């Protein structure tokens, strides 16, 4: 949750010097690099389970396909969400995109692996969804985005895709990490194949956004090499490393918490992102009177919702 809510800070740092499409190449490289490093280190040591390379060699084509598909689906969802924010603003894109992703993701993952108390889990999801709506109302006070039909449709598409990517990766993994089912993946292997799905699909999806941008001027591969300084490249890679660290830990946690609960807690990243925006980036310093009350209520709903999601696991044991 902390990592998923923090990686976008690197995009903010880089956005003043070059566009998101160029930043995103370094971001995907960071995801691939960390997944490989973790696979060859932490994923290759320990007293139980299966090491990274043997697990990769024993993986069935079906498992590899699902993990790879998860990366492809996540990639287009992530790019569509950014496009929706550019068109309609945070106040429209976030409650539609992230709200749908949260509810849909928890439902499909709970149906597949029903672990935890469903009443507490979905009550918690409902409170987090309300907090996301409040988050949108807060951003609406400073946002200049317009609720165009195009922006809403793209937000809907991003939310649906974001709600399913996690299930595809989970379907490739063994539920028992200590004694993996033959042909299925450990978290380290699944995240690595997922990252390859992101990187390869980027040549299709991100290339489109480079040459057909939603906003701003188009960029080219030549710009990536001519405009990018070592500092800019490192910022982008670091952003991918932060996101990937969160995803690896989230998938490992799913072994105990269950995929639905783990995914639901991860989507509390919206709260973390709001904290950065409020206290570090000072996004609301000129917001109208009454904004602070909405922000306080938003945080209360987030904390209550996340607490119920955590309790759902304890009650379900």
Looking at residue 17, what is its pLDDT? 86
What digits encode the pLDDT tens for the residues 206-221?
999 999 987 678 999 9
Q: Is the pLDDT of residue 109 over 60?
A: yes
pLDDT of 252 reads: 95
Closest Cα partner for 99 from 73, 119, 125? 125
What are the pLDDT digits (tens) for 209-260? Answer: 999 987 678 999 999 999 999 999 999 999 999 999 999 999 999 999 999 9
Per-residue confidence band for 146, with pLDDT thresholds at 50, 70 and 90: low
Computed over every residue of the chain, the mean pLDDT equals 92
Percent of the chain with pLDDT over 90: 73
Q: At what angle do helices 259-266 and 230-257 cross, to 10 degrees?
A: 140
H or E segment to which residue 14 belongs: helix 8-15
pLDDT, residue 139, reads 86
**Angular region, 258: left φ>0, alpha ψ -120 to 50, beta rest:** left
Angle of CA points 102, 306, 238, to nearest 5°: 70
What's the confidence (pLDDT) of residue 144?
66
pLDDT, position 145 = 65
% residues pLDDT > 70 (the chain): 97
Decide if pLDDT at 317 tops 60. Answer: no
């Amino acid at each position: 949750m902390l990592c998923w809510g923090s990686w976008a800070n690197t995009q903010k740092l880089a956005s003043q010097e070059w566009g998101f499409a160029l930043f995103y190449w370094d971001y995907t490289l960071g995801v691939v690099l960390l997944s490989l490093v973790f696979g060859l280190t932490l994923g290759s040591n320990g007293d139980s389970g299966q090491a990274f390379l043997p697990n990769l060699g024993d993986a069935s084509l079906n498992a590899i396909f699902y993990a790879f598909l998860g990366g492809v689906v996540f990639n287009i969802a992530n790019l569509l969400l950014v496009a929706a924010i550019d068109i309609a603003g945070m106040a429209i894109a976030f409650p539609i995109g992230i709200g749908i992703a949260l509810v849909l993701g928890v439902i499909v993952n709970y149906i597949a692996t029903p672990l935890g108390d469903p009443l507490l889990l979905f009550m918690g999801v409902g409170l987090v969804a309300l907090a996301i709506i409040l988050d949108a109302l807060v951003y609406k006070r400073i946002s200049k985005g317009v609720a165009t039909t195009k922006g809403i449709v793209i937000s809907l598409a991003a939310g649906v895709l974001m709600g399913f990517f996690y299930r595809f990766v989970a379907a490739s993994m063994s539920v028992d990490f200590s004694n993996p089912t033959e042909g299925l993946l450990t978290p380290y292997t699944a995240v690595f194949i997922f990252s390859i799905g992101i990187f390869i699909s980027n040549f299709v999806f991100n290339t489109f956004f480079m040459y057909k941008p939603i906003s701003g001027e188009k960029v080219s591969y030549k710009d990536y090499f001519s405009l990018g300084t070592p500092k800019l490249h490192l910022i982008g890679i670091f952003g991918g490393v932060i996101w990937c660290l969160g995803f690896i830990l989230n998938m490992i946690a799913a072994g105990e918490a269950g995929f639905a609960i783990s995914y639901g807690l991860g989507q509390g990243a919206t709260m973390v992102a709001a904290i950065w925006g409020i206290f570090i980036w000072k996004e609301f310093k000129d917001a109208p009177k009454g904004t602070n009350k909405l922000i306080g209520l938003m945080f209360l709903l987030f904390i209550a919702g996340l607490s119920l999601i955590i309790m759902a696991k304890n009650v379900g044991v």
